[in-house]
């Protein structure tokens, strides 16, 4: 099986799992994956993650030019900005409109520099320090500019009134991080206003050192 065939199948398999578990609905959400030749596979615009056709995924070359498949997601500039600023640290990007994460994005008083307090070890390890981006119209190129302002220092963002976007070295990593994002958002909503205990600065520092994560 060729790399591209395997990658197409992997995107569709993960997307179907994400959809089946209610992490996205309708035709919302998008996934991209970098290929070894520098090109990219991207989910098409207006497509449901639950019913993707591997043959219809959008193929782009290393310069981001269209090669084949259906028209790409309108959120492509968002994905491109993450690859551009993160370099080899990012091999895949997942963006969803998952309910709990969107819920956090509309809460008052959320710290835009660190959306989630350090509630669990895995939120620190898999997400690092999550930045909140202001509201942009879906597909607005200005969203990509907002990502670039962070100069590759973040692997996870929360788009206000919109949803989360995460990057990982592999597709598995990106999907796992996205699941951790949604679970952390759910915990935050469950404990909002209740002054939950968080990890100490020393505990966070230990995780950062031991697992070599940015926080």
- pLDDT tens by residue, 179-209: 999 999 999 999 998 999 999 999 999 999 9
Strands across the sheet containing 156-159: 66-68, 58-60, 40-42, 30-34, 92-95, 163-168, 156-159, 131-133
pLDDT for res 1: 75
Tokens of 62: 């290393």
Give residue-wise pLDDT tens across range 136-188.
999 999 999 999 999 999 999 999 999 999 999 999 999 999 999 999 999 99
pLDDT for res 59: 98
Q: How far apart are CA 81 and CA 151, in angstroms?
A: 10
b/e map 118-138, b = 16+ CB within 10 Å = bbbeebbbbbbbbbbbeebee
**What are the catalytic residues?**
75, 122
Give residue-wise pLDDT tens across range 8-47.
999 999 999 999 999 998 999 999 999 999 999 999 999 9
Other CB atoms closer than 10 Å to residue 7's CB: what's the count? 22
> Using alpha carbons only, what angle is made at residue 29 by residues 126 and 187, rounded to the nearest 5 degrees?
45
Q: How far apart are CA 117 and CA 127, in angstroms?
A: 11
Going by pLDDT thresholds of 50, 70 and 90, the confidence category of residue 6 is very high
Domains of the chain are 3-211 (3.40.225.10)
pLDDT for res 214: 83
pLDDT for res 212: 87
84 burial level (CB within 10 Å; 0-12, 13-18, 19+) = middle
The answer to whether the CB of 37 falls within 8 A of the CB of 59 is: no
The answer to whether the CB of 119 falls within 8 A of the CB of 199 is: yes
pTM: 0.96
Please name which of 78, 73, 62, 94 lies closest in space to residue 145, comparing C-alpha atoms.
78
Give residue-wise pLDDT tens across range 67-105.
999 999 999 999 999 999 999 999 999 999 999 999 999
What size, in residues, is the chain? Answer: 215
Residue-by-residue DSSP string for 55-93: GGSEEE-TTS-EEESSPBPTTHHHHHHHHHHHGGG-SEE
Q: Which residues contact 46 (CB under 8 A, 6 or more apart)?
A: 27
């Amino acid at each position: 099986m060729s790399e591209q065939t395997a990658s197409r199948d992997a995107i569709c398999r993960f997307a179907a799992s994400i959809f089946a578990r209610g992490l996205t609905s309708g035709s919302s959400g998008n996934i991209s994956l970098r290929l070894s030749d520098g090109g990219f596979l991207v989910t098409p615009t207006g497509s449901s993650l639950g019913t993707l056709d591997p043959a219809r995924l959008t193929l782009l070359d290393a310069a981001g030019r269209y090669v084949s498949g259906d028209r790409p997601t309108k959120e492509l500039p968002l994905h491109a900005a993450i690859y551009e600023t993160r370099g080899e640290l990012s091999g895949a990007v997942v963006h969803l409109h998952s309910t709990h994460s969107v819920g956090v994005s509309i809460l008052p008083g959320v710290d835009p520099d660190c959306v989630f307090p350090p509630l669990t070890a895995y939120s620190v390890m898999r997400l690092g320090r999550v930045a909140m981006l202001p509201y942009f119209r879906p597909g607005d190129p200005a969203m990509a500019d907002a990502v670039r302002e962070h100069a590759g220092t973040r692997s996870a963002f929360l788009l206000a009134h919109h949803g989360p976007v995460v990057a990982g070295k592999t597709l598995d990593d990106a999907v796992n991080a996205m699941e951790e994002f949604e679970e952390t958002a759910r915990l935050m909503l469950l404990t909002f206003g209740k002054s939950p205990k968080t990890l100490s600065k020393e505990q966070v520092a230990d995780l950062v050192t031991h697992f070599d994560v940015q926080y």
